Amino acid sequence: MPPYAYLKNQFVPLEEAKIGVMTHAFLYGTGCFEGIRGNWNADERQIYLFRAREHYERLHQSSRLLKIKLKHSVQDLCNITTELIERGDFQQDIYVRPIAYKSSEIAGNLRLHELEDDLLVFVIPFGNYLDPNKGIHCQVSSWRRLDDNVLPSRAKITGGYVNSVLAKTEAIESGFDEAIMLTDDGHVSEGSGENVFLVQGGKLITPAVSDNILVGITRSSVMELAKNELGVETVERSIDRTELYLADECFLTGTAAHLTPVTRVDHRPVGSGQVGPITKKLQGLYFDVVRGKVKKYQGWCLPAYAKVKAKA
């Protein structure tokens, strides 16, 4: 079945979901978005949307910062998403991209007020964004992370992701897998689309919210899993660049990246240069949780299908 999108308050085939070339969000980046993972559980023939409500709550918050009137409630958005998945009849891992944006077709107007707003949601198949198994090699980017007073980092604003695109492009073209960006004062901030964690002395260490990070939903989930299931505490504080080189372990978290081990930074091995024991335990637990296999955390997983899919 062809994939569908939700645009202008109706469901349309994805190939027909178009916006005009003068759309304000296209010209000026005045939109905000979320990325939501749907994880296929082959045993149950079910797709589980990971923390969909929290993602849509954050979309509402981002919309407020951009003066976008998002008329759909969190429950409305969840219902739209599950219907899109039903219509597409997906039986694999998927990615949901909702975008709230300034839809007025107008040029030469640098403002947020007195403009029309709209919502777009689409679903596509989506596998691994980064290799979750062997560990990746990261570069500390020459591009600094945008400061919250330049462009709000706690919101997923479409135009702001040019910052991430520049850092990721530099890393890939330099032979690395991913970038890690620093704040303007030289502290570790985040990857191009992921939060950063170190393991040092049996504890997780991750940049504080004040270091211009997106307060990640996967980030908070991993912190909770580490505390509840492994008895590992998380310290939120500023991290110097050299701590990346001296940590026992390092990993990235994010909707696209899941929980991805980092085994080298700037041509230096992290710890032993292999995936560390705490990272490995957390990763295994996380993947079970997002596929709805851990009863204790099933409240984080929204079933996409009202009835489980029949085997082909």
Domain residue ranges in the chain:
4-125, 136-292
Query: From the candidates 102, 156, 307, 311, which is the catalytic residue?
Result: 156
In the predicted model, residues of the chain with pLDDT beneath 50 are none
Contact indicator for 98, 196 with CB cutoff of 8 Å: no
Q: Which CATH code for domain 136-292?
A: 3.20.10.10
Residue 122 CA: distances (Å) to CA of 2, 117, 128, 213: 12, 17, 19, 26
Cα torsion 103, 105, 110, 114: sign: negative
Taking each helix axis from N to C end, the angle separating 277-290 and 217-230, rounded to the nearest 10 degrees, works out to 110
Task: With beta carbons less than 8 A apart as the criterion, state whether 196 and 250 touch.
Answer: yes
Model confidence, pTM: 0.95
Per-residue pLDDT at 310: 63
pLDDT of residue 309: 64
In terms of Cα–Cα distance, which of 100, 124, 119, 156 is closest to 38? 124
Active site residue 203: no
Among the listed residues 63, 208, 197, 35, the one whose alpha carbon sits nearest the alpha carbon of residue 129: 35
Give the pLDDT confidence score for residue 259 in this predicted structure: 97
Q: Is 267 exposed, middle or buried (0-12, 13-18, 19+ CB in 10 A)?
A: exposed
Q: CATH number for 4-125: choose from 3.30.70.100, 3.30.2290.10, 3.30.470.10, 3.20.20.120.
A: 3.30.470.10
Amino acid 1: pLDDT: 76
